[in-house]
């Protein structure tokens, strides 16, 4: 199982490096914009409050203070890029882990090895963890450097906590993609299902906030990850962490069980 996980992780090295570079570029660009935004004298609190609650939740994370580095990064970087885009990306990537082998007819080679189907699924899931850790770890270090360059100061522990929990959040999104990957044989269908689940529930959660249908948003993983609460308030909800952990475990177990029961075309 370790050999399979290692092989899959090495095969993703180039993609992981490229993704990391792109995310570091986003961090640098966002941090670099902060000084000019902070000196503009705009009343950001009034500006943010002019948006409907759904827009604030979906794109701003409910943050009203854009005049601080933390508030600016939450609205311009973390809520949209880290929560939505990266969450969807890792679900999308995980959707091809098994479906890709089935579609390419290379699954037969794995199934012929003395490794159970369940272990293959677990190994595939583990192979995505290095990419998740690398993106968040390098971005965290880059953030500290960029913030220092513009002459601002932040609490490194606050951002370390945020990115550590992002690893869990992204892993939960990947677990959703993994289930889609074993549920269907076509990669494009698995990817579409994973993206639909992650992005669709994200906006369902945002659009139903503070309405009678807010309960519909409980299906969204983003409901259980409040970046503003983690970074600004330095608070971590154990219940939300528990939900994400359960999603990771149940997703892998369910994917393994489905793969054990399904017929793989030869």
Averaged over 195-221, what is the pLDDT?
Answer: 88
Q: Answer yes or no: are the C-beta atoms of 22 and 30 closer than 8 Å.
A: no
In whole angstroms, what is the distance from residue 184 CA to residue 173 CA? 18
Query: At 212, is the pLDDT very low, low, confident or very high (cuts 50, 70, 90)?
Result: confident
Place of tokens 């969450």: 87
Averaged over 72-79, what is the pLDDT?
Answer: 88
- Of the chain, the percentage scoring pLDDT greater than 70 comes to 82
pLDDT for 93:
94
Query: At 50, is the pLDDT very low, low, confident or very high (cuts 50, 70, 90)?
Result: low
> CB 29: neighbour CB atoms within 10 A?
12
In whole angstroms, what is the distance from residue 98 CA to residue 100 CA? 5
Does residue 1 or residue 258 have the better pLDDT? 258
- Of the chain, the percentage scoring pLDDT greater than 90 comes to 51
In whole angstroms, what is the distance from residue 57 CA to residue 60 CA? 6
* b (16+ CB within 10 A) / e for 13-26: eeebeebbeebbeb
pLDDT tens, residue by residue, 15-44: 999 999 999 999 999 999 888 876 765 555
Q: Model pTM greater than 0.85?
A: yes
- The yes-or-no verdict on residue 252 having pLDDT over 60 is yes
Tokens of 150: 């513009």
Tokens of 155: 């609490």
Averaged over 206-217, what is the pLDDT?
Answer: 82
Q: In the chain, what are the domain boundaries?
A: 2-261
pLDDT for 197:
94
Rounded to 10 deg, the angle between the 129-149 and 86-94 helix axes is: 160
pLDDT for 147:
95
For residue 124, give the nearest of 94, 88, 167, 104 by alpha carbon: 94
Q: Answer yes or no: are the C-beta atoms of 167 and 131 closer than 8 Å.
A: no
pLDDT for 58:
55
> Measured between alpha carbons, how far apart are the two ends of the chain, in Å?
22
pLDDT for 6:
79
Alpha carbon of 84 to those of 38, 80, 144, 199, 265: distances in Å? Answer: 25, 5, 22, 7, 34
- The yes-or-no verdict on residue 109 having pLDDT over 70 is no
Q: Answer yes or no: are the C-beta atoms of 72 and 66 closer than 8 Å.
A: yes
Q: Answer yes or no: are the C-beta atoms of 243 and 256 closer than 8 Å.
A: no
Place of tokens 């990537």: 93
pLDDT for 46:
54
Does residue 1 or residue 13 have the better pLDDT? 13
């Amino acid at each position: 199982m370790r050999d399979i996980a290692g092989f899959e992780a090495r095969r993703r090295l180039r993609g992981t490096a490229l993704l990391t570079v792109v995310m570091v570029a986003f961090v640098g660009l966002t941090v670099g914009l902060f000084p000019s935004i902070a000196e503009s004298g705009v009343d950001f609190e009034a500006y943010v409050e002019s948006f409907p609650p759904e827009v604030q939740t979906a794109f701003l994370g409910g943050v009203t203070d854009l005049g601080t580095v933390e508030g600016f990064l939450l609205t311009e970087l973390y809520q949209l890029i880290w929560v939505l885009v990266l969450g969807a990306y890792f679900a999308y990537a995980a959707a091809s882990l098994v479906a890709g082998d089935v579609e390419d007819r290379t699954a037969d080679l794995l199934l012929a090895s003395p490794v159970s189907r369940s272990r293959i699924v677990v190994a595939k899931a583990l192979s995505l963890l290095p990419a998740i850790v690398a993106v968040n770890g390098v971005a965290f270090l880059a953030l500290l450097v960029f913030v220092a360059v513009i002459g601002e100061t932040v609490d490194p522990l606050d951002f370390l906590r945020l990115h550590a929990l992002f690893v869990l959040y992204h892993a939960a999104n990947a677990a959703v993609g993994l289930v889609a990957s074993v549920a269907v044989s076509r990669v494009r269908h698995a990817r579409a299902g994973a993206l639909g689940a992650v992005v669709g529930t994200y906006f369902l959660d945002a659009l139903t906030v503070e309405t009678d249908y807010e309960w519909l948003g409980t299906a969204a993983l983003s409901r259980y990850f409040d970046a503003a609460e983690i970074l600004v308030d330095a608070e971590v909800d154990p219940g939300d962490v528990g939900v994400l952990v359960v999603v990771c475990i149940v997703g892998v177990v369910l994917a393994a069980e489905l793969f054990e029961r399904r017929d793989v075309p030869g």
